[in-house]
Structure 1
Amino acid sequence: MAELTTASAPERAVAAHDEESPATVTPETVALRKVQGALAKPAVVKTAHAMSLFGEHAAGWLTIGAIGALVDRERRGEWVTAAAGVAAAHAASIAVKRVVRRPRPKDPEIQVLVGTPSQLSFPSSHATSTTAAAVLYGGLTGKKLTPALVPPMMVSRLVLGVHYPSDVVAGSALGGAVALGFRRVIRRRRNRA
């Protein structure tokens, strides 16, 4: 009887390619090993798991945007636009993943400590949506959220063994770029009002 699989055809192709390729230890693999070796302690892993769940499909950030729209009636449109920016950033990261098709880390010394919806790694969608949320919601609240939110989310993806350092850096850059575009939209609407 044929074995059932939930992976899509492109993901199976990536997996097949990985099985045929010999493991190459790159500087990013070494960096990921070091991060896990230094930080993958039970309390940190537990926190990283919670962050992963919150950031999955940008759901936590979109929920915060919805709450902001409900609570801040005067700026409801700005909150909706900001949440749309988070969704757009997440969608952009998925689109880039499907073009780049970089497989997730597969090194015998790297522990994968959380499940993922796909086997594609570049860029980190968690880093993308977190950066977009920090920039956009920070602009609405008047608080500098980026230093408090983005580095912990980036490091959490490394601790969990599901991304290389360049994945999280690229994801954060993509999220920031999308967020800046949406901030311009928010400012234009504010100036028209």
Structure 2
Amino acid sequence: MSLPTATPHGEDAILVAVQSTLAGRPGVLPGARALSHFGEHSAGWVGVSLLGAVLQPSRRKAWLTAGLGAFLAHAAAVVIKRVVKRTRPDHPAITVNVGTPSRLSFPSAHATSTTAAAVLLGRVTGLPLPAVLVPPMALSRLVLGVHYPSDVLTGVVVGTVVAKTVGAASERVAGKDGR
């Protein structure tokens, strides 16, 4: 005889709903895992920025600023995680669908670095990248069962603040040296 599990409430219930709605659809879990691996430690965004800097030397500074912003956003998320020390979702109804480098969840470093990268890369390319890149990465963290919705939303806010700060600092530096 199995013991009854507690009914999930609050953010646990949201995660269960997201997982039950999306995780079983074709391609969703592999796609979410691919986003997870791409965004780990902001490495994918730094790589995109380095590639852009090589392929478009006339905009090298802007591309490198985007990579720096993604990296600094990731670092900010790690610092906040170590201060807050919120653990990842652990309800028995939530399936964890990917490994994580730590047990800390607040804020989502993936959402943080992706948001910063999207804002700064959007400035370089002129494309609406925040609207295109942030929602899938944010949702993937829920599908994978490794973050609460508030972790992801806070990551988006922190990533936006870091991107705006890095972008403004880059503009000030560019104004001083005339480039």
Same fold per TM (> 0.5)? yes
Give 1:37's aligned residue.
Answer: 20
Cα deviation, residue 25, structure 1 = 4.2
- 2:156 matched to 1:172? yes
In the comparison of the two structures, how many residue pairs are matched? 171
Give 2:3's aligned residue.
Answer: none
The residue type equivalent to 1:30 in the other structure is A
Give 1:27's aligned residue.
Answer: 10
* The one of 105, 129, 140 aligned to 1:145: 129
Distance 2:31 2:73 in 1: 24
Distance 2:58 2:77 in 1: 31
Q: Kindly report the root-mean-square deviation, in angstroms, between the aligned alpha carbons of the 2 structures.
A: 1.4
Give 1:122's aligned residue.
Answer: 106
Cα deviation, residue 26, structure 1 = 3.7
Partner SS, residue 86 of structure 2: coil
- Which ranges in structure 1 are unaligned for 5 or more consecutive residues? 1-22
TM-score by structure 1 length?
A: 0.85
1:65-80 superposed matches below 5 A:
65-80=49-64
The residue type equivalent to 1:141 in the other structure is T
TM-score by structure 2 length?
A: 0.91
Identity %: 53
Give 1:50's aligned residue.
Answer: 34
Distance 2:138 2:62 in 1: 26
Q: Note if contact 2:32-2:143 (Cα within 8 Å) is conserved in structure 1.
A: yes
- 2:172 matched to 1:188? yes
Q: C-alpha offsets along residues 37-66 of structure 1, whole Å, 9 cap, x if unaligned?
A: 100114201110111010011110000010
Q: Which moved more, 1:101-110 or 1:33-42?
A: 33-42
Partner SS, residue 60 of structure 1: helix
- 2:77 matched to 1:108? no
The residue type equivalent to 2:89 in the other structure is P
